Each structure stands twice: as C-alpha cells, then as structure tokens.
Amino acid sequence: MKASIEFFFDPISPFSYLATTRIDELASRHGRNVIWRPTLVGVTVTKVMGLKPVPETPLKSTYFARDAQRLAQIFGVPLRRHGLKNVNSLAACRAFLWVQERDDASARRLVRHLSARLWVDGIDITPRETVVAEAASLGIEVGDLSSEEVKHKLAAAVDYAIRKNVFGVPFFVADDEPFWGCDRMWMLDYWLATGRLPSFDDLLCRLFQD
Amino acid sequence: MKASIEFFFDPISPFSYLATTRIDELASRHGRNVIWRPTLVGVTVTKVMGLKPVPETPLKSTYFARDAQRLAQIFGVPLRRHGLKNVNSLAACRAFLWVQERDDASARRLVRHLSARLWVDGIDITPRETVVAEAASLGIEVGDLSSEEVKHKLAAAVDYAIRKNVFGVPFFVADDEPFWGCDRMWMLDYWLATGRLPSFDDLLCRLFQD
C-alpha cells in the first residue's frame, strides 16, 4: 500500500480550481490515494505571512491573472476571471469538511463543483445559502455551516496547513516532498513515477521531441 | 531573423543564478539571441509591490530555500545557502551595464561568475571593491561603479523591468509571452520550439515515459 498524497486546496484560488480537475486522476495512475485538505489561503497570506493578497499586489496580479488563463488552456478547462469582490471560502471549506466525514467522494465532488462555479460561472460562493443550494443541486447535504463543531474543524485544518508550511494553493505533499502550484504537477507526476527529480536536460529533451 | 528573448536577472536571487547557467544555451538551440537585463528585485518587491523580501516571509522562505536546492539538483549545478545579511546587487548590476556596452559576452560571463560566487562560494558581492576584484580575476574591467552615468543606467533598467511587470527573477519574455521562474524554462523551451503551449497530457505523458 503506497502512502497517500496530501492535496491542500482553497476554492478561492484559480490555481486550486485547476488542480481539482486533475489531481485524483494523476494520483490514481500511480496507485496513490489523495487526502484532500482545505485551507484558507487568505488567512495564511495576510495573518501568518504578513503579505497582501495576490490580486491586490501590483505587477504580480497582472501576471497571475494571465498565467491562470494560460494554465487553464494547458489543463484543457474553461476559466473566466470573475469581477467579484471579497469572496471567501469559509462556507465552502466548512461544507467540504462536514461532507468529507460522511462521504469523501461527495466532498471532493462538491469542491470541484464549487471551484468551477466560481472560476467558470462567476458565482459568488461566499454566502452559506449559496453553498447549501449548490450542494443540494448535486444531491449533497452539508449540515449546519455555522455550528461550532464545523468552525473548529476548519480552524484546525488551517492550523494544520500552516504547520505544513502551506503558504499557497494548490500545494501537494508526497513522501514528505512538497510541491507548490498547479504548474508543478509535472514534477509531482515525475516524483510519483520515479521517486526522484528529473534532470533539466531530460525535461527539455522530452518536451522538445515535438 | 527570429526575435530576441529578454532575460531579466538579479544576482541576489538563487533562482536567477540557476537561470544564468542555462538560458543562453536554451535560446541558441532555437536560434534566438538573449538580451540580458538587470533589475533590483528587492526594490521592486518592497517599494513597488509593498511586500517583504521572500527570505523574511514566514512559510514561503522555508519552501523557497528547499526548492532552490531541489532546482539546483535538476539544473545539475551546485548551490549553497549563504548566511550573509543585507546582500545587495547594486555594484554587480552596475558593473554588468558598464561592461555590456562594451562587450556583451563578457558582461554575461561576469554575471554568471558573480551569481555563482554568491550562491556557490558564499562570497558577499555587495562591496564595489569585491565586484571590481572578481571582474579583474576574469580579466574584465568594470569602470567607475559610482559614476552618475552608471547609476542612471541602472535606475532606467529597473524602471524598464517594472514597466514590463517583472515582479520576480528570473523572468523571460519571448514574443510578448512572459515566463516567471527558472521552473518555467521548460515552458519557454516548448514555446520556442512550437510557438504554443503544451497540453497537460502531452506534458505528463512525455515525462511519464521514463
């Protein structure tokens, strides 16, 4: 039995959305299970790291917006820039945790769905009612999203991510090897296939065969 | 005649050091010239973007230090973490610009050398005297590093980089397509070979042939 991979996500990030579309398939090709772990990357960036969110950071925001589109093209999925302000994923992450305890596959399906609703359809997933309704459209029940229990669960999940040095999403950990970014899924794939890192020439030569 | 690639560097960054070891060879395989452009990424990060430098940013600093080692392994070159404080690359970048006007190949050689002195040998390249002496060891003269002319030249180079949205190094621009990071050199390579982006499956399948 091979060790599971950890996948840290936050529906608020377009890069996390992209990762949700591929991670399970990638891992299963290598006979690995994936443990999906929510985090609130906004909390980590502003409170732990003392930075501004990327969308409010000059220069970087422009590049990241363009790069998200480019990576969506690579991933072969749609992605549209939403003009929403102050989106947060508290309700989405709490819903994930409540469902995960009961049915892991449904919990993943819910996160894939909510991420795509935000990043493809431009639906604001901040309100609890929206999360409840979106889940219901999949036939998934999410429990009481304002219960103390689910609040504590999410706080613990965020603490865990911070202890694991998760400063951005998506973030993967395989065999204690950390990988940040959906643009590193090739490196994760290579790691899972070989247990090592590629050489620069290997990588370029292989891409270069086109 | 194919369009040149722009390569933005700053010897202060380990990732920029890694890029200096490969960019010319990569570009020349595609019949492209590289225009090397210095910038002061510390200025951009703190003054334009309003962030802390990565080494002072919790969580991220840990990952980036580890990732630099991992990428050095991929690049097949040594990299050692120096314990130096307050290193800056003002003198190195000014020296580059003075030499570049006279002999572009020597200017590149100087930057490769200074980057490696910092990131392999742990030599502080901040003092002007050090830059002068290191250049002399290569038989390269660097002019007066405190002249108004070279100061203005570097200020203009930094302004140019900021106008080009260069928020980190290394940063490459090919045919108006921007690529940030030495871990995106595979994407640059693919772009130069094909004029397009790879698909996710192409990328993984190719890596996966191992």
**Backbone phi, psi, residue B200, to 5°:** -55, -45
Cβ A4 vs Cβ A173: under 8 Å: no
Give the pLDDT of residue B207.
Answer: 54
Angle between helices B60-75 and A200-208 (to 10 degrees): 70
Average pLDDT for runs of 10 along chain A of length 210: 95 98 95 97 90 88 95 96 95 98 98 98 98 98 97 97 96 97 93 89 60
Q: If you measure CA to CA, which chain A residue comes closest to B23?
A: A200
Q: How far is A93 from chain B (nearest CA, A)?
A: 22
**DSSP H helical segments within chain B, as ranges?**
14-20, 23-29, 41-43, 60-75, 90-100, 104-119, 128-137, 148-163, 185-194, 200-208
* Token pair for A157: 């999940």
Please indicate whether, in this complex, the C-beta atoms of B199 and A62 are within 8 angstroms of each other.
Answer: no
What pLDDT shows up at residue B210?
A: 43
Given a cut of 50, whether residue B73 has pLDDT beyond it is yes
Per-residue pLDDT tens over the stretch A167-179: 999 999 999 999 9
CB within 8 A of A152, min separation 6: which ones? Answer: none
B58 to A51: CB separation less than 8 angstroms, yes or no:
no
Inspect the interface and report whether the beta carbons of B49 and A60 lie closer than 8 Å: yes
B26 to chain A: nearest residue by CA?
A204
Residues on chain A touching B203 (C-beta within 8 angstroms)? 74, 186, 207
Angle between helical axes of A90-100 and A128-137 (0-180°, round to 10): 40
The pair of three-digit structure tokens given for residue A66, joined into one six-digit string: 């363009």
Q: Are B61 and B54 in contact (CB under 8 A)?
A: yes
- Is the distance from CB of A78 to CB of B202 less than 8 angstroms? no
Beta carbons within 8 Å of A28's beta carbon, 6+ residues apart: none
Contact A170, B191 (CB under 8 A): no
Strand pairing report for B5-9 and B171-174: antiparallel
User: Residues A44-68: pLDDT tens digits?
Assistant: 988 888 888 888 899 999 999 999 9
Inter-chain contacts counted by CB atoms under 8 A, chains A and B: 128
- Minimum-distance CB partner of A76 among B60, B178, B199: B199
pTM given for the model: 0.94
Chain A residues inside the 8 Å CB shell of B51:
51-52, 57
